[in-house]
């Protein structure tokens, strides 16, 4: 779906403000994956994902979306942006229409679809994010915080992308709003959407992603299954990242000599492992 080869991006090259945002990034995101991208602020996450939909162009290296080179002179950028739906941080700050319906319709109408198709896209997208139909005729500014966020995400989904890339989608939401949104995103993934989730909430990533790419100072520091990455707590810590609290507890137990497998990073997994250990200890 998305492939990068030796991707580098330099901001303001040749000026005193020259900044190497990302360097030598090669990765391949397959159809149907749920990939988490983590890294602290300034690690190049935002720059990287803006290459996925051709908002930024490589300084060197290549980005392919469905096999199409985004920097090829004939590349249809609008088609690429339709295929890779990118949701920025605080997407509700881009509302501009008087009703939620019209705002969600902005994307599909830019594709010059028929009125009927647009309406269909809007309803479908609203349903995907769990927005009640009666909210569609309200002003987007009158929605609650969580609803605003979901309506804004629907605005990208309405273009029927094959990949959904979200930059910090839960930032600023309260726990209820966050859980609702994450559940919806997981559902979309189960229904076949490829998802790339950028977040510095390790708990969010642990709950959703199958694979994690860790960025540090513009380079890929780790790329592997969620279990693999979270079992490297010390390395993550050195990069200024944290692991979910459960992983910390498990690491403490390992230090005490308890044998615990790598793949334990959610409460549920931890519960099962501990009960197993308990049963073993009390049988003897």
Q: Which is nearer to other proteins, 4 or 47 (CB)?
A: 47
Q: Which is nearer to other proteins, 28 or 271 (CB)?
A: 271
In the chain, alpha helices (H): 45-52, 77-83, 100-110, 115-128, 145-157, 175-190, 202-208, 226-230, 233-238, 245-255, 267-283
Reading phi first (left if > 0) and then psi (alpha if -120 to 50, else beta), residue 240 is in: left
Q: Which is nearer to other proteins, 24 or 79 (CB)?
A: 79
- Taking the complex as a whole, the smallest distance from the CB of residue 79 to other proteins amounts, in Å, to 10
- Taking the complex as a whole, the smallest distance from the CB of residue 50 to other proteins amounts, in Å, to 7
Q: Which is nearer to other proteins, 23 or 203 (CB)?
A: 203
- Taking the complex as a whole, the smallest distance from the CB of residue 205 to other proteins amounts, in Å, to 12
Q: Whole-angstrom Cα distance, residue 199 to residue 18?
A: 26
- Taking the complex as a whole, the smallest distance from the CB of residue 37 to other proteins amounts, in Å, to 14
- Taking the complex as a whole, the smallest distance from the CB of residue 83 to other proteins amounts, in Å, to 11
Q: Which is nearer to other proteins, 24 or 179 (CB)?
A: 179
CA angle 90, 94, 97 (to 5 degrees): 140
- In 3D space, the residue among 191, 193, 121, 118 whose CA is nearest the CA of residue 162 turns out to be 193
- The two tokens of residue 97 are 């229409």
Q: Which is nearer to other proteins, 40 or 132 (CB)?
A: 40
The footprint of other proteins (CB under 8 A) covers 40-41, 50, 53, 55, 78, 81-82, 85-88, 91, 93-96, 106-107, 110-111, 141, 144-146, 155-156, 159, 171-177, 200, 203, 240-242, 244-246, 248-249, 252-253, 256, 258, 267-268, 270-271, 274-275, 277-278, 280-281
- Taking the complex as a whole, the smallest distance from the CB of residue 265 to other proteins amounts, in Å, to 10
**The residue to which tokens 């090259």 are assigned:** 13
The contacts of residue 216 (CB under 8 Å, 6+ apart) are 39, 40, 43, 239
- Taking the complex as a whole, the smallest distance from the CB of residue 106 to other proteins amounts, in Å, to 6
Q: Whole-angstrom Cα distance, residue 61 to residue 225?
A: 25
- H/E element holding 10? strand 2-11
Collapsing DSSP to helix, strand or coil, 40 comes out as coil
Q: Which is nearer to other proteins, 24 or 120 (CB)?
A: 120
């Amino acid at each position: 779906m998305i492939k990068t080869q030796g991707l580098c991006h330099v901001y303001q090259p040749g000026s005193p403000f020259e900044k190497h945002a990302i360097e030598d990034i090669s990765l391949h995101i397959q159809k149907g994956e749920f990939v988490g991208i983590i890294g602290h602020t300034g690690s190049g996450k935002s720059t990287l994902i803006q290459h996925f939909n051709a908002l930024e162009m490589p300084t060197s290296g290549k980005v392919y979306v469905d096999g199409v080179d985004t920097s090829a002179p004939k590349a249809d950028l609008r088609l690429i942006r339709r295929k890779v739906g990118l949701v920025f941080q605080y997407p509700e700050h881009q509302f501009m229409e008087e009703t939620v319906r019209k705002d969600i319709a902005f994307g599909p109408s830019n594709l010059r679809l028929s009125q009927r198709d647009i309406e269909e896209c809007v309803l479908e997208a609203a349903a995907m994010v769990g927005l009640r139909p009666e909210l569609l005729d309200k002003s987007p500014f009158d929605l609650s915080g969580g609803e605003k966020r979901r309506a804004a995400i629907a605005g990208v989904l309405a273009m029927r992308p094959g990949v959904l890339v979200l930059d910090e989608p839960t930032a600023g939401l309260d726990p209820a709003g966050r859980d609702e949104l994450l559940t919806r995103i997981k559902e979309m993934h189960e229904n076949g959407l490829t998802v790339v989730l950028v977040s510095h909430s390790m708990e969010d990533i642990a709950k959703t992603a199958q694979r994690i790419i860790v960025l540090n100072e513009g380079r890929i520091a780790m790329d592997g299954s969620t279990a693999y990455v979270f079992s490297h707590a010390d390395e993550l810590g050195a990069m200024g990242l944290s692991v979910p609290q459960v992983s910390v507890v498990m690491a403490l137990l390992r230090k005490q000599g308890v044998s615990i497998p790598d793949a334990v990073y959610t409460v549920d997994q931890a519960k099962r492992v501990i009960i197993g250990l308990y049963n073993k200890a009390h049988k003897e």
